[in-house]
A and B are shown apart, each in its own frame.
Chain A
Amino acid sequence: MGTPDRQEPRTAISRRRFIEAAALAAGGMLVQGGGGTAPAADGGAAGYPVQGRGEVALTRGSGVGKEPGGPVDRQLLQRWLGEMLMALTGAAAAGDAWSALFPRQKRVGIKLNCLAGPRLAPRRELVQAIVRGLGAAGVPAERIIVWERSDRELQRCGFTISTGGSGPRVYGTDNPAAGYEERIRTSGRVGSCFSRILTEQCDLLINVGVLKDHDLAGVSVGLKNLYGVIHNPNKYHDNACDPYVADLAAHPLIRQRLRLTICDGTTAQCQGGPAFQAGYCWNFGGLLAGLDPVALDRAGAVLIEERRAEVGLPTLGQSEREPAWITTAGRLGLGESRQEKIRIREVG
């Protein structure tokens, strides 16, 4: 966040606290507390406990993601993912961590955020690493669906559409293999038709976003990517997307399925999103992951605010797009939104 004489956004973690937390985590001084797979005592409402409440794993490496959309080392990303999941679950090995989260008999959806195109979408190497991780847990490739709103968005980002064969399925909701449900499902102020990929073809969901600014929502890190589940996201951008992002995420069909959120920060963007704008990108060179989607969004928002301060941009609050929906999501019991409660586990 900004310097002491700078007005702090109401909901942001202070820079000092954030770095302290990360340093403590790196030194192994944080107690596991509500982490692991045990439900937190103050877990979510309505019978859906938030696992790993308030915990976010972070990893960075110099030189990773210097070139937006350029190649990255898949094996490095795979190692990072394993270490992050070990930190989040308390498992002793990466395979055990994946297994703890993704039982082999489950069908797993990997929802990407490809709107901005190949230079600011989840890296293919990251998706490959996730698929490998699931494979290590024993999830057969054909039970994995990599998906987005449309085939075209996936293709534009370098993915090959596949609805059969022995590998993972890759297709959009607009593919004949999927489509939207006929019925309207409501959650708070959101009323939409959901993608059949979510409701009929996945048991568990990995939400893979990008560490980036969003012109209306403030940030698009994790939960905002769930707008790609519904047919009418354009109806829910008023008031900086509050409470809509939180309301959507609170729907039982999402809460039951969302097991892991991964944010690709190899290349990040602090202004001008959701589209790619080279002038506002920076080489964050890392990943974030969390079982608590709200904590991960808060942590991502802090990182974006930090970068904005570094390059002299006003805060998101001053830009009238404070991501208040993160606080709302916390209030709905979807995870930890309070800055002082979030613990960063820096690994790698």
Chain B
Amino acid sequence: MAERKCPVVSSTLREDRRLLLRSLLGGACLLGARSTLAAADRGREPQAAEDPRLGVAPAKYFRTLDELRVECTLCPRGCRVADLERGYCGVRENRGGHYVTLVHSRPCAMHNDPIEKKPLFHYLPGSTALSLGTAGCNMECRFCQNWRMAQFRPEQVQSQAVGPGELVRLAGRENSSSIAFTYSEPVVFFEYMLDTAVRARKDGVGSVMISNGYINQEPLLELVKTLSAVKIDLKAFSDRFYREMCSGKLEPVLETLKTLGRSGIWFEIVVLVLPTENDSRDELLRMCRWIAANLGPDVPVHFTRFQPMYKVRNLPSTPVSTLEMAHAVARECGLHFPYVGNVPGHPTESTFCPGCSKRVIHRVGFRILEKRMDGGACGGCGRPLPGIWS
């Protein structure tokens, strides 16, 4: 995962007081409605006013169980949550048998980023995306790059109330082609993402999800209808790695990738390569063969460099030679668009035409130095290149 972000809202956006005030007022109405409901559920105990640090809204995708318990059906974890408790993500709470999200319209980081930072290389190159994330995650990767957001609860981070409408307006003001749901894990702020994406689509603004892909099929299919592109972290190709390093499972992520492939939405894959953990040639070979067989050769795969972080501080940064080996393995498996990431200036940051092998997009870091394309085709040989280019 290349994107790192401190849990703060960027200064340019923070200063939009008018929008902030309006969103705060909107939030107050929402919170008031939920408090009334909660009071009715709990009988005679008076309810305190809603915590202003939270963005409470009804959750989608859960089922009620006996004794006020609920089962979350948003992600494969399937948390069974007792009254007043939260799911593994820390941002979805059972309130008297009603499951709610606590982070709707509550971003704790917001910036206008190059789309290459996501990274999405075949989606509107050179454009920017208004990027945001809330607290919480449904995994706990021991190498989490944004752990101060993803591994905290919403009360524990600084956030602001920014509703879907405000986000779309901000994207317009910042000349952002897209809104990117990113930084932490968008699946856990599903409702906020969905509401924003629906609104953005109406206004001609794209929506992209930067995710671990740990989501059940039904919500994924609903979401895909509203999104423009997706990036999925395929963290390894072993269930052991997912269990021990991420507190997750591999299979649901593969299912997500297959569903995305069938849906026709544009998506790219990132593999963060950790020395000794997921960097064996054999594992990378199996991964790339699976991608070629199940998703086709045109899915871009970004092999990105790990930096010691969070609970994994005993490993060195990934050697560039390892990333180059992964790149070579991908080519060997017939993948057309492997990239090396987090190594600014590396030649394989650029896009090469699989037909004539000429460089069609010259990248350095997040910057595009040159683009030799004719519409959506190679400027040299005319071969159509997969992606969304305009």
For B151, give its contact among A152, A232, A271 (CB under 8 Å): A232
For B311, give its contact among A117, A174, A191, A272 (CB under 8 Å): A191
Closest 10 CB pairs of A and B: A215-B82, A275-B83, A275-B84, A234-B90, A191-B311, A272-B67, A234-B86, A235-B140, A234-B88, A156-B48
Taking the complex as formed, is A52 at the interface, i.e. its CB lies under 8 A from any CB of chain B? no
Nearest CB on A from B29, distance (A): 21
Which B residues from 56 to 74 make CB contacts under 8 A with A? 67-69
Known: A118-B45, A152-B48, A186-B311. A174 touches B83 (CB 8 A): no
Task: Using CB atoms, name the residue of chain A closest to B44.
Answer: A119
The answer on a CB contact under 8 Å between B88 and A277 is: no
Task: Using CB atoms, name the residue of chain B closest to A234.
Answer: B90
Task: Using CB atoms, name the residue of chain A closest to B48.
Answer: A156
Nearest CB on B from A89, distance (A): 36
The 8 A CB mask of B38-52 against A (1 = contact, 0 = none) is 000001010010010
Chain B neighbourhood of A156, CB < 8 A: 48
The 18 listed contacts between A and B (C-beta, < 8 Å) are: A115-B84, A118-B45, A119-B45, A174-B156, A184-B310, A231-B156, A232-B140, A234-B89, A234-B90, A235-B140, A238-B88, A238-B247, A272-B68, A273-B82, A274-B85, A275-B82, A275-B84, A278-B43
Determine the distance from Cα of A4 to Cα of B156 in the docked complex, in whole angstroms. Answer: 49
Chain A neighbourhood of B51, CB < 8 A: 152
The listed residue with most A CB atoms (<10 A of its CB), out of B85, B142, B247, is B85
Taking the complex as formed, is A201 at the interface, i.e. its CB lies under 8 A from any CB of chain B? no
Taking the complex as formed, is A155 at the interface, i.e. its CB lies under 8 A from any CB of chain B? yes
Determine the distance from Cα of A234 to Cα of B89 in the docked complex, in whole angstroms. Answer: 7
Chain A neighbourhood of B48, CB < 8 A: 152, 155-156
Interface residues on A, range: 20 to 34
Which B residues from 88 to 119 make CB contacts under 8 A with A? 88-90
Taking the complex as formed, is A18 at the interface, i.e. its CB lies under 8 A from any CB of chain B? no
Which A residues from 235 to 281 make CB contacts under 8 A with B? 235, 237-238, 271-275, 277-278
Taking the complex as formed, is B152 at the interface, i.e. its CB lies under 8 A from any CB of chain A? yes
Taking the complex as formed, is B251 at the interface, i.e. its CB lies under 8 A from any CB of chain A? no
Taking the complex as formed, is A150 at the interface, i.e. its CB lies under 8 A from any CB of chain B? yes
Determine the distance from Cα of A277 to Cα of B67 in the docked complex, in whole angstroms. Answer: 9
Chain B neighbourhood of A235, CB < 8 A: 88, 90, 140, 151, 247
Taking the complex as formed, is A24 at the interface, i.e. its CB lies under 8 A from any CB of chain B? no
Chain B neighbourhood of A275, CB < 8 A: 68, 82-85
Taking the complex as formed, is B87 at the interface, i.e. its CB lies under 8 A from any CB of chain A? yes
Known: A118-B45, A235-B140. A215 touches B90 (CB 8 A): no
Determine the distance from Cα of A109 to Cα of B235 in the docked complex, in whole angstroms. Answer: 42
Not counting A156-B48, A272-B83, A275-B68, a sample of 8 additional A-B residue pairs whose C-beta atoms are within 8 angstroms of each other reads: A116-B84, A174-B156, A215-B85, A231-B151, A232-B140, A238-B247, A272-B82, A277-B67
Taking the complex as formed, is A171 at the interface, i.e. its CB lies under 8 A from any CB of chain B? no
Chain A neighbourhood of B45, CB < 8 A: 117-119
Chain A neighbourhood of B88, CB < 8 A: 234-235, 237-238
Determine the distance from Cα of A116 to Cα of B87 in the docked complex, in whole angstroms. Answer: 17
Task: Using CB atoms, name the residue of chain B closest to A115.
Answer: B84
The answer on a CB contact under 8 Å between A180 and B156 is: yes
Chain A neighbourhood of B153, CB < 8 A: 231-232, 234
Taking the complex as formed, is A76 at the interface, i.e. its CB lies under 8 A from any CB of chain B? no
The answer on a CB contact under 8 Å between A150 and B155 is: yes
Determine the distance from Cα of A7 to Cα of B289 in the docked complex, in whole angstroms. Answer: 52
Taking the complex as formed, is A216 at the interface, i.e. its CB lies under 8 A from any CB of chain B? yes
Summarize A's interface: helix, strand, loop or mixed. loop
Number of A-B contacts (CB under 8 A): 67
Interface residues on B, range: 20 to 34
Nearest CB on B from A13, distance (A): 26
Determine the distance from Cα of A238 to Cα of B86 in the docked complex, in whole angstroms. Answer: 13
The listed residue with most B CB atoms (<10 A of its CB), out of A150, A234, A235, A277, is A234
Task: Using CB atoms, name the residue of chain A closest to B79.
Answer: A237
Which B residues from 154 to 175 make CB contacts under 8 A with A? 155-156
Task: Using CB atoms, name the residue of chain B closest to A150.
Answer: B155
The answer on a CB contact under 8 Å between B82 and A174 is: no
Nearest CB on B from A25, distance (A): 34
Determine the distance from Cα of A278 to Cα of B44 in the docked complex, in whole angstroms. Answer: 12
Nearest CB on A from B195, distance (A): 24
Task: Using CB atoms, name the residue of chain B closest to A117.
Answer: B45
Determine the distance from Cα of A116 to Cα of B51 in the docked complex, in whole angstroms. Answer: 16
Nearest CB on B from A101, distance (A): 32
Chain B neighbourhood of A232, CB < 8 A: 90, 140, 151-153
Determine the distance from Cα of A232 to Cα of B155 in the docked complex, in whole angstroms. Answer: 12
Determine the distance from Cα of A117 to Cα of B84 in the docked complex, in whole angstroms. Answer: 10
The 8 A CB mask of A200-242 against B (1 = contact, 0 = none) is 0000000000000011100000000000000110110110000
Chain A neighbourhood of B152, CB < 8 A: 231-232
Task: Using CB atoms, name the residue of chain B closest to A118.
Answer: B45
The 8 A CB mask of A144-163 against B (1 = contact, 0 = none) is 00000010100110000000
Determine the distance from Cα of A273 to Cα of B88 in the docked complex, in whole angstroms. Answer: 17
Determine the distance from Cα of A11 to Cα of B12 in the docked complex, in whole angstroms. Answer: 59
Task: Using CB atoms, name the residue of chain A closest to B147.
Answer: A184
Determine the distance from Cα of A191 to Cα of B247 in the docked complex, in whole angstroms. Answer: 13
Nearest CB on B from A176, distance (A): 13
Chain A neighbourhood of B311, CB < 8 A: 184, 186, 191
Nearest CB on A from B212, distance (A): 15
Nearest CB on A from B56, distance (A): 14
Chain A neighbourhood of B84, CB < 8 A: 115-116, 274-275
Nearest CB on A from B141, distance (A): 11
Determine the distance from Cα of A191 to Cα of B311 in the docked complex, in whole angstroms. Answer: 8
Nearest CB on B from A275, distance (A): 4
The answer on a CB contact under 8 Å between B87 and A274 is: no
Determine the distance from Cα of A117 to Cα of B48 in the docked complex, in whole angstroms. Answer: 11
Known: A156-B48, A234-B153, A235-B247. A277 touches B68 (CB 8 A): yes
Task: Using CB atoms, name the residue of chain B closest to A237.
Answer: B88
Chain A neighbourhood of B85, CB < 8 A: 215-216, 274-275
Chain A neighbourhood of B43, CB < 8 A: 278
The answer on a CB contact under 8 Å between A216 and B82 is: yes
Determine the distance from Cα of A234 to Cα of B90 in the docked complex, in whole angstroms. Answer: 6
Task: Using CB atoms, name the residue of chain B closest to A149.
Answer: B155
The 8 A CB mask of B344-388 against A (1 = contact, 0 = none) is 000000000000000000000000000000000000000000000
Nearest CB on A from B373, distance (A): 45
Determine the distance from Cα of A3 to Cα of B349 in the docked complex, in whole angstroms. Answer: 71
The 8 A CB mask of A179-191 against B (1 = contact, 0 = none) is 0100010100001
Chain B neighbourhood of A152, CB < 8 A: 48, 51
Determine the distance from Cα of A156 to Cα of B51 in the docked complex, in whole angstroms. Answer: 12
Chain B neighbourhood of A150, CB < 8 A: 155
Chain B neighbourhood of A234, CB < 8 A: 86-90, 153
